[in-house]
């Protein structure tokens, strides 16, 4: 069964998360005209003392023209079937073991080759930015995918704010390291903390966002509260969660899964049906909730927007 809704309903007014929803028709809006509303909404919603609770509504969200037209994955699946090894290696572990995780207050450090480094509280980091709803696919390397209405803002806006120098060729990200709050970090399966990185042009691409919510609400703990990266044309592990540090670097930064298994997980990790994982094919994927698999799309269906970033590159070598 599908629940249909008129296009004027705000994301925060979605009434049923347990059923598949039809993609909301995006509206063409002016960011400048709604910036004040977004800031007020953050101050009254995300930053309130109760905002540490999942389910807090985010106000002043505008819809993005970058959204896919595909049907959304049910909220329950999005929040209970995750890879987030900081809370355990099974898909169900993050929902189970992140229940007591308190994402606020949250401190973010910005450093490296930029003119305006610093340490910021989450509210100070977010306030200048317009919140957008972006319906993106999330494609995981294990051949499953979801369609999620993320709430966030372009990473490019953040990068410009800190004025990277000419030496900044990459952007590196680091996840919180706190085994008491993230019990999965007591396991030696990965070398903690989790780290990721993007080439500067990838980070500046308008599809790349920092997410603070989904389904019109504050980002739930299992999905990377309170701040995560979303890069829709790459495999899901590139979208690092619970970010505490952003650094501008001249050289390619180390990335967690590439360090663990460099023959399986490359730095770029673009969705590519023509480059199989050594242990399984990448030619097909199963959308959560679907019975049958579907062909995997090059760059996860965003080839028209991002293929030019890799013109002339051997995508088998730079996987």
Q: What is the DSSP string of 251-305?
A: SPPP-HHHHH-TTT--SS-B--TTS-BTTB--SEEEETT-SS-EEPPGGGGTHHH
Structural domains of the chain in order of their starting residue, each with its CATH number: 2-310 (3.90.420.10)
- Please, where are the H alpha helices in the chain? 31-41, 75-80, 93-97, 122-126, 155-161, 200-204, 256-260, 303-306
* Residue-wise pLDDT tens digits, 109-144: 999 999 999 999 999 999 889 999 999 999 999 999
Location of structure tokens 């070598």:
317
What is the arithmetic mean of pLDDT over 101-110?
Answer: 97
The sign of the dihedral angle between the CA atoms of 83, 84, 87, 88 is positive
pLDDT band of 195, cuts 50, 70, 90: very high
Q: Is the pLDDT of residue 4 over 90?
A: no
* Residue-wise pLDDT tens digits, 35-85: 333 333 443 444 433 334 567 899 999 999 999 999 999 999 999 999 999
Q: Is the pLDDT of residue 3 over 50?
A: no
């Amino acid at each position: 069964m599908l629940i249909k809704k008129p296009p004027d309903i705000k994301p925060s007014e979605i009434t049923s998360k347990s059923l598949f929803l039809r993609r909301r028709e995006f509206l063409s809006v002016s960011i400048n005209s709604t910036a004040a509303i977004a800031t007020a909404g953050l101050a009254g919603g995300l930053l309130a003392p109760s905002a540490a609770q999942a389910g807090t509504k985010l106000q002043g969200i505008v819809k993005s023209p970058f959204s896919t037209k595909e049907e959304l994955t049910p909220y329950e699946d999005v929040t209970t079937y995750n890879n987030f090894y900081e809370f355990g290696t099974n898909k169900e572990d993050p929902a189970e073991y992140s229940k007591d995780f308190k994402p606020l207050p949250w401190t973010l450090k910005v450093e490296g080759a930029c003119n305006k480094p610093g340490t910021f509280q989450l509210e100070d980091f977010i306030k200048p930015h317009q919140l957008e709803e972006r319906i993106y696919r999330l494609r995981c390397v294990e051949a499953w995918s979801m369609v999620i209405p993320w709430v966030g803002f372009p990473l490019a806006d953040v990068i410009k704010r800190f004025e990277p120098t000419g030496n900044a060729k990459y952007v590196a990200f680091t996840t919180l390291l706190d085994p008491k709050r993230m019990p999965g970090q007591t396991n030696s399966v990965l070398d903690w903390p989790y780290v990721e990185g993007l080439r500067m042009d990838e980070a500046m691409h308008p599809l790349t966002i920092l997410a603070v919510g989904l389904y019109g609400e504050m980002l739930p703990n299992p999905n990377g509260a309170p701040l995560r990266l979303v890069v829709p044309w790459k495999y899901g592990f590139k979208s690092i969660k619970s970010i505490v540090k952003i650094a501008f670097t001249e050289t390619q930064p180390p990335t967690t899964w590439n360090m663990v298994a460099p023959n399986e997980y490359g730095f770029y990790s673009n969705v590519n049906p023509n480059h199989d994982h050594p242990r399984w094919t990448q030619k097909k994927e199963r959308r959560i909730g679907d019975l049958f698999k579907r062909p995997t799309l090059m760059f996860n269906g965003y080839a028209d927007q991002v293929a030019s970033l890799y013109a002339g590159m051997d995508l088998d070598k730079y996987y």
